[in-house]
């Protein structure tokens, strides 16, 4: 199948999915997710890690468990990956990979900003914000792209192995594109910027319905995904003092 054919197949797929999931939200603001808007982009990032290689319902449950088990994101940052995986209720290979990556990204944010905050990212130009997010240690393409689309209103296409497998099965992705970073870059060129959120939402609904079967085979592949070296960014400067005082809070215990 040619790249052109794959592009046509993808657009046909999106048209079909938008009709099927007509009631899927066109965006996904923090206020619609556990934790509300209080922790902003950090909430979005943590929730994104719960959704990566998972379903929306499982992600919401996992996010709520994080809020009940940890006082704030600083406590989550210093927890052992095994402890985090246990809290998430998934101590298998994929659960441990999720926990390890989440912890690495939180530690990288803290190392750069001296606090668990992404406030400065919301004030940066979209290109700089994208470069920063994708450069975080352990950051999957899916989480970074989802943050850009739903947290910052940018143009990106969240892709994990679940979605990649479905796209290839439909012939809606060029042969030879296997890495989420590469597939995401290709999808960006198929979707208009003002439709990125709507398309990402229906693709997620599709993945929720059809992606579970790919979980076992994708666990090892997910571990192999790495942050592109070219995306490494320097520490941000000028973080407000007020932001440095907070470690963020998933929820108060028992809340």
Task: List pLDDT tens digits, range 204-226.
Answer: 999 999 986 555 455 555 566 66
Q: Which of 48-57, 107-116, 127-136, 223-232 has the lowest mean pLDDT?
A: 223-232
Burial call 144-157: b when 16+ CB within 10 Å, e when fewer: bbbbbbbbbebbbb
Instruction: Tell whether 27 is covered by a domain.
Output: yes
User: CA–CA separation, 218 vs 224, rounded Å?
Assistant: 10
| pLDDT tens readout for residues 77-103 | 999 999 999 999 998 999 999 999 999
Asked whether 140 and 101 are in contact (CB, 8 A), the reply is yes
Lowest mean pLDDT among 30-34, 41-45, 110-114, 122-126: 30-34
* DSSP symbols for 207-235: HHHHGGGGHHHHHHHHHH----GGG--PP
Q: Could you tell me if residue 58 is inside a domain? A: yes
pLDDT at 238 over 60: no
Is 252 inside a domain boundary? no
pLDDT band for 229, please (50, 70, 90 cuts): very low
Distance of alpha carbon 173 from alpha carbon 164, whole angstroms: 8
Q: Return all residues near 97 (Cβ < 8 A) that are at least 6 apart.
A: 219, 222, 223
Domain tally, the chain = 1
In a domain, 126, yes or no: yes
- Under the banding of pLDDT at 50, 70 and 90, the label for residue 244 is very low
Q: Of 16-30, 75-89, 144-158, which range is least confident?
A: 16-30
What's the distance, Cα to Cα, between the start and end of the chain in Å? Answer: 51
pLDDT value of position 211: 80
- How many other CB atoms are found less than 10 A from the CB of residue 104? 17
Q: Which of 11, 66, 6, 124 is nearest to 249 (CA)?
A: 66
Residue 254 placed within a domain: no
Residue 233, Ramachandran bin (φ over 0: left; ψ between -120 and 50: alpha; else beta): beta
| Lowest model confidence (mean pLDDT) among 49-53, 142-146, 239-243 | 239-243
Q: Does the pLDDT of residue 154 top 90, yes or no?
A: yes
Phi/psi of residue 52, nearest 5 degrees: -55, 125
> 207 in a domain, yes or no?
yes
* 1 has pLDDT over 90: no
**What pLDDT, on a 0 to 100 scale, did the predictor assign at position 40?**
86
- Residue 149 and residue 193: Cα distance in Å, rounded? 9
Domain of 122, in residue numbers:
3-244
pLDDT in tens, 156-205: 999 999 999 999 999 999 999 999 999 999 999 999 999 999 999 999 99
Domain presence at residue 148: yes
Contact 88, 50 (CB under 8 A): yes
Residues sharing a CB contact under 8 Å with residue 62, sequence separation 6 or more, in sequence order: 50, 54, 88, 89, 90
Q: What is the CATH number of the domain that holds 214?
A: 1.10.340.30
pLDDT for residue 235: 41
What integer best gives the mean pLDDT of the chain?
Answer: 84
Give a yes or no: residue 82 inside a domain. yes
Q: Indicate if the pLDDT at residue 59 is higher than 60.
A: yes
Give CA–CA dist 222/90, Å, rounded: 15
């Amino acid at each position: 199948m040619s790249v052109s054919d794959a592009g046509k197949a993808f657009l046909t797929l999106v048209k079909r999915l938008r009709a099927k999931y007509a009631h899927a939200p066109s965006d996904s603001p923090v206020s619609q997710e556990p934790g509300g808007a209080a922790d902003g982009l950090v909430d979005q990032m943590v929730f994104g890690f719960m959704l990566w290689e998972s379903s929306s319902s499982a992600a919401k449950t996992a996010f709520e468990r994080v809020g009940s088990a940890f006082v704030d994101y600083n406590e989550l940052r210093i927890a052992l990956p095994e402890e985090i995986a246990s809290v998430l209720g998934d101590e298998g290979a994929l659960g441990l990979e999720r926990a390890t990556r989440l912890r690495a990204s939180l530690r990288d944010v803290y190392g750069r900003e001296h606090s668990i905050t992404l406030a400065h990212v919301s004030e940066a130009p979209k290109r700089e914000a994208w470069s920063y997010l994708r450069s975080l240690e352990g950051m999957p393409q899916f989480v970074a792209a989802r943050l850009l689309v739903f947290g910052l209103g940018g143009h990106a296409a969240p892709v994990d192995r679940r979605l990649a497998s479905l796209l290839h099965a439909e012939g809606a992705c060029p042969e030879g594109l296997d890495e989420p970073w590469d597939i995401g870059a290709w999808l960006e060129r198929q979707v208009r910027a003002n439709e990125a959120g709507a398309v990402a939402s229906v693709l997620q609904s599709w993945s929720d319905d059809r992606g579970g079967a790919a979980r076992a085979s994708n666990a090892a592949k997910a571990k192999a995904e790495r942050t592109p070296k070219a995306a490494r960014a320097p520490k941000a400067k000028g973080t407000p003092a007020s932001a440095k005082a907070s470690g963020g809070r998933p929820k108060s215990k028992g809340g």
